[in-house]
Structure 1
Amino acid sequence: MTDQLTVRCVLMRGGTSKGLYFHGADLPAPGAARDALLVRLMGSPDPLQIDGLGGSRPITSKLAIVAPSTRDDADVDYTFGQVDIDRAVVGYSGNCGNISAGVGPFAIDEGLVDAVEGVTPVRIHNTNTGAVMTAHVPVRDGKARVVGDFAVPGVPGTGAEIVMDWSGTVGAKTGALLPTGSPVDDITLENGSAVRATICDAANPCVWVPAADLGLDGSEVDFSETLLDVVREIRGKAAALFGLCTDWHRVDDESPGLPMVGLVAPPGDYCTLTGTTAEAGDMDLRVRLIFMNRLHESIAGTASVCLAAASRIPGSVVGPVATRRRTDTLLIGHPSGITPARVAAQEVGEPPHVSFELLGFSRTARRLMDGVVYYPRSVQ
């Protein structure tokens, strides 16, 4: 076709996200040319992404670039990209747990990793953070399994369970579990009020704030623009505290995806986005996660890891609102239901007074389409 060019692409669902998966060799080298191509493929900037493959929401405007690893301790290198919807920007400031869940099956099915019948461990080096995680991918007849009985709230039906171990990602972005050195920081807002926050870096940096500090119950599934502006201010001021932006007003430009902000509350009954009832007795706490200045429909995989870690930090704002039904699991109530995160922790004498033997979660993934995606020749 004279007006358009093509690039190989796989469209996959990973957890509660959906994204484009590429071989690194099929794309331009990192830089402006590659970003321009990725933005055009997704259809940004446009609220509907109508002229691209994006789905008009942050959870469907993601991508993964995968290649054989350059490290001895990893099988593949994986770069995560978050494509802005309203701006021609690709963010590489962190990782996505849901999209990460699709990297192992992609690597196996594309022949980047030799399949081992039963379960194939795939060591994934995330280039965004420098950390290595391991995906334990179920395999049948040399391909990643899709059919199974594991359910992920926010995803219709069930699938084959992929166990993700993120214990090697503590401090991956900032170098410390507690980037400010404190389990609680007071963040003063422009209106003079203050909120308590635990700023934690495990999988991805997140800011955890008691929902009650913002006058919320913790069961909300819709936030006003006024409240989202307050959360953006909290996010910006937290980001400035540990160097992700130079000024809190510039957080959307300098660090559009991170940190995420989660509003935490004790267990309570609420109606999910699908109309079912999430019962207090089935969860350890409630959380409402704000991602890319929008309420997340469920909870990001990396945020669930970070929340599990924060729940075990002595003195954090998360511990007092969380019950503990099982020592190695945190049951997280979010807008789409209840999701478990795995955490095995022990107290230690030195700050932050906790260490982790296990941090992770389980997800499902499914290849939806593969082939070539078209883009105008003028993008070159």
Structure 2
Amino acid sequence: MTRHRPVRSRAIPAVWMRGGTSKGVFFRADDLPSDPLLRDRLLLRVMGSPDPYGQQIDGLGGATSSTSKVVVLSRSSRPDSDVDYRFGAVAVQQPLIDWSGNCGNLSAAVGPQAIRLGLVANVPQDGIAWVRIWQVDIGRRILAGVPMQDGEVLEEGDFELDGVTFPAAEIELRFLDPGGEGTLLPTGALTNQLLVPGVGALEVTLLNAGIASVFVAAEALGLRGTESQAELNAQPQLLAQVEAVRAAAAVAMGLAATPAEATALRPHSPKLTVVAPPTASRSADGRSIPAEAVDVVARTFSMGKAHHAMTGTGAVALACAAAVPGTVVQRLAVLRQPGQLCVAHPSGSCKGACGSGLMSLQTLLHQREVAA
């Protein structure tokens, strides 16, 4: 046993919150060191990383990509926003916090916490408070509809989300212009051929919407697409292949200079999702999901492991890709309702709107046709 000299503790206000199918520790920026190195060192210690045992027992992290997350909030100086929001994906076994992307699930908790911190003006006593969020890391705006009652955030409710045990109040999120200007298709193509060492040639769709994303047909990786999280995570060779594809895609998207850099410094993004056509599957809690009840089957990988449900930002990207003819997702999906995509994931299913992504992509493609 190694003995360490006692260190005087420091009290820092923080809140541990769930948002969607994720949990994270929320801080106010003013309460953290301004030096990024000192800030990250402090946040790593709070979460219990790096932990060679992979459990984060001595910290607030939950030893999974869904529960090892930090959020930093501050009052926004932008006239179109109330709060600036930064998200950090904390590696469990590495001394690394990846600030390169967003967490769509934790975005649902940003509005309530911003209201509690007094960062939002003109909050109604009752009804819906619309919180204007600026996601600093990706430069995108999000609107969060937070239910209020007697001047307080309403937490109790009957909204149910697959992957979460108990119901709660519903937070409506609107991702405004999820792809931004000219960045939805980083390579300019609806599909790309990636030559990945140890895997071979793969057809993928590379998309910036919600979060930088890589979509590949499950069949191309020898998968059905309906595997459980445990089945996927029990295959180290598969996880290594998935990471090799993700890292190669990061280079193709201009997000990293080399695959090694993508693996070492950008484990959070881009996200890789394997997709399959509507197929009967079973959720983690034992429920049957009929093929006719969904439009597409998806399994997302996050921080090197299979995700237990569906990332919020990944769902945005998936919906955008499904709306555009020619993408890997669109060719496999069966859209039963215009503008809506129902996705089967390991914990059940979820729905998302794909209209805004379609409009942005059509505008981008039209601009390229005119320029040509």
TM-score normalised by the chain length of structure 1: 0.89
C-alpha separation in 2, matches of 1:288 and 1:141: 41
> Is the 1:63–1:99 contact (alpha carbons within 8 Å) kept by the matching residues of 2?
no
Matched, 1:352 2:365: yes
C-alpha separation in 2, matches of 1:262 and 1:244: 17
Q: Which residue of 2 aligns with 1:113?
A: 120
Identify which of 168, 191, 194 aligns with 1:159.
168
> Is the 1:136–1:162 contact (alpha carbons within 8 Å) kept by the matching residues of 2?
yes
Amino acid at match of 2:276: A
Amino acid at match of 1:159: A
Identify which of 31, 39, 50 aligns with 2:36.
31
C-alpha separation in 2, matches of 1:181 and 1:254: 25
| CA distance 1:349–1:189, shift in 2 (3 Å) | closer
The percent identity for this pair of structures is: 38
Identify which of 295, 312, 318 aligns with 2:323.
312
DSSP-derived class of the 2:202 partner: strand
Tell me the CA shift for residue 352 of structure 1: 2.9
> Is the 2:322–2:354 contact (alpha carbons within 8 Å) kept by the matching residues of 1?
no
> Is the 2:208–2:317 contact (alpha carbons within 8 Å) kept by the matching residues of 1?
yes
Tell me the CA shift for residue 93 of structure 1: 0.4
Deviation per CA, 1:37-84, whole angstroms, max 9, x where unpaired? 000000001111111111111111101111110111100001111111
More helix per residue: 1 or 2? 2
Identify which of 242, 248, 258 aligns with 1:247.
258
Deviation per CA, 1:212-247, whole angstroms, max 9, x where unpaired? 111211101122111111111110111001221111
DSSP-derived class of the 1:178 partner: coil
Amino acid at match of 2:177: G
> Is the 1:131–1:169 contact (alpha carbons within 8 Å) kept by the matching residues of 2?
yes
Tell me the CA shift for residue 349 of structure 1: 6.3
Matched, 1:125 2:127: no
Identify which of 25, 33, 55 aligns with 1:48.
55
> Is the 1:233–1:249 contact (alpha carbons within 8 Å) kept by the matching residues of 2?
no
Deviation per CA, 1:284-315, whole angstroms, max 9, x where unpaired? 10000011110000010000001000111221
> Is the 2:205–2:327 contact (alpha carbons within 8 Å) kept by the matching residues of 1?
yes
Q: Which residue of 2 aligns with 1:322?
A: 333
Amino acid at match of 1:148: G
C-alpha separation in 2, matches of 1:171 and 1:87: 32
C-alpha separation in 2, matches of 1:54 and 1:340: 28
Q: Which residue of 2 aligns with 1:371?
A: none
C-alpha separation in 1, matches of 2:31 and 2:199: 51
C-alpha separation in 2, matches of 1:57 and 1:158: 22
> Is the 2:198–2:241 contact (alpha carbons within 8 Å) kept by the matching residues of 1?
no
Identify which of 291, 294, 300 aligns with 2:305.
294
Map 1:357-368 → 2, pairs under 5 A: none
Matched, 1:182 2:189: yes
Tell me the CA shift for residue 111 of structure 1: 1.9
Q: Quote the RMSD (CA, aligned, Å).
A: 1.7
Matched, 1:336 2:343: no
C-alpha separation in 1, matches of 2:217 and 2:109: 32
Identify which of 78, 87, 98 aligns with 1:71.
78
> Is the 2:143–2:176 contact (alpha carbons within 8 Å) kept by the matching residues of 1?
no
Matched, 1:102 2:109: yes
Tell me the CA shift for residue 168 of structure 1: 2.2
| CA distance 1:351–1:256, shift in 2 (3 Å) | same
Amino acid at match of 1:313: V
> Is the 2:284–2:346 contact (alpha carbons within 8 Å) kept by the matching residues of 1?
yes
C-alpha separation in 2, matches of 1:2 and 1:87: 23
> Is the 1:93–1:257 contact (alpha carbons within 8 Å) kept by the matching residues of 2?
yes
TM-score normalised by the chain length of structure 2: 0.91
> Is the 1:314–1:353 contact (alpha carbons within 8 Å) kept by the matching residues of 2?
no
Amino acid at match of 1:309: C
C-alpha separation in 2, matches of 1:250 and 1:240: 9
Tell me the CA shift for residue 192 of structure 1: 6.5
C-alpha separation in 1, matches of 2:107 and 2:35: 20
Amino acid at match of 1:127: V
DSSP-derived class of the 2:193 partner: strand
Tell me the CA shift for residue 194 of structure 1: 1.4
How many matched pairs? 352
Instruction: Note the residue ranges of structure 2 that are not aligned, 5 or more in a row.
Output: 1-5, 368-372
C-alpha separation in 2, matches of 1:137 and 1:232: 37
Instruction: Note the residue ranges of structure 1 that are not aligned, 5 or more in a row.
Output: 355-380
| CA distance 1:2–1:296, shift in 2 (3 Å) | closer
More strand per residue: 1 or 2? 1
> Is the 2:162–2:348 contact (alpha carbons within 8 Å) kept by the matching residues of 1?
yes
DSSP-derived class of the 1:352 partner: helix
Deviation per CA, 1:94-145, whole angstroms, max 9, x where unpaired? 0100111100010112222142120010000011011111111111111221
Amino acid at match of 2:208: D
